[in-house]
Homo-oligomer: A and B are copies of this chain.
Amino acid sequence: MSSSPALADLPQIARRTLADTAYDALSDLLASGRLAPGDRLSLRQTAAALGVSVMPVREAVSRLTAEGALDVAPNRALRVPVLTPEAFRALAETRMAVEGLAAARAAERRSPGELAEIRRAEAAFRALAGSARPDGARAVVLNRDLHFAVYAACGLEPLREIIARLWLKAGPVLNLDLRAHPGRLRQGSAMRRHAEAVAAIEARDGPAAAAAIAADIGDAAEFILSRGGLRQAQRP
């Protein structure tokens, strides 16, 4: 097949289905905490909001329920999962273990470029968290950027995907709280943990990086649990 070399320059046409787009839209809502635990959603309503039929939304929702990011009650009602304190604690412990693992590997094998990216993300978060009146929604994004800059450096793509799914489950709880109480950022706990993590990654100290990330997760989880930020999943 001989043809003009100009064809080689053509960018591949992105082949995105409506279901993919719907999935991204719902994921974003969940990860950013704009969908709170217990919120119900309807296929037809979200389909109307997205301007498509219910089919793409159905597929997106079925993916999210498979990942545990959404919950279909026995009544067939569709809602954002409400975690019991026990389930939330188990999720937090899992995250501490798995994300600690990724952080340790990142510390040991990060490239100079990856380290630079991590430091940049840490600086961005610190600038926001240290400001007079931090924007909760933006803090959510920057915190996520920093964490995933670290996990991207661990060199194991499957591990990164696992963590992304864990964040989808924890996102509504964590970020709803962070949006509601951005003042917690001023306590500096997150900033301190982040600084410890970056220092450990810079020093190629795996265990220290794991400990810092785990402490960051544990601090936030403990704060939310102590505040009773979790509603019970029971109906009266």
Interface residues of A in 68-106 (CB under 8 A from B): 68, 74, 76, 87, 90-91, 93-94, 97-98, 101, 105
Q: Is the CB of A93 within 8 A of B59?
A: no
Q: Which residues of B contact A19 (CB under 8 A)?
A: 62
Interface residues of A in 12-58 (CB under 8 A from B): 12, 15, 19, 58
Q: Which residues of B contact A157 (CB under 8 A)?
A: 87, 90
> For the complex, what is the distance from the CA of A162 to the CA of B159, rounded to whole Å?
10
Q: Is the CB of B91 within 8 A of A158?
A: yes
A222 within 8 A of B: no
> In the complex, what's the smallest C-beta–C-beta distance from A66 to chain B, in angstroms?
4
> For the complex, what is the distance from the CA of A235 to the CA of B74, rounded to whole Å?
45
Q: State which size class the interface on A falls in.
A: 20 to 34
A169 within 8 A of B: yes
Residue of B whose beta carbon sits closest to that of A65:
B63
Of listed A59, A65, A68, A94, residue having the most chain B CB within 10 A: A94
Residue of B whose beta carbon sits closest to that of A73:
B15
> In the complex, what's the smallest C-beta–C-beta distance from A96 to chain B, in angstroms?
10
Q: Is the CB of A156 within 8 A of B90?
A: yes
Q: Which residues of B contact A159 (CB under 8 A)?
A: 94, 97-98
> For the complex, what is the distance from the CA of A97 to the CA of B166, rounded to whole Å?
17
> In the complex, what's the smallest C-beta–C-beta distance from A111 to chain B, in angstroms?
16
A219 within 8 A of B: no
Q: Which residues of B contact A90 (CB under 8 A)?
A: 155-158
Q: Is the CB of B158 within 8 A of A74?
A: no
10 interchain residue pairs of minimum CB distance: A63-B66, A94-B158, A59-B62, A94-B159, A94-B156, A91-B158, A62-B62, A90-B156, A97-B101, A162-B162
A sample of 5 inter-chain contacts (CB < 8 A) reads A15-B74, A87-B157, A90-B158, A97-B101, A97-B156
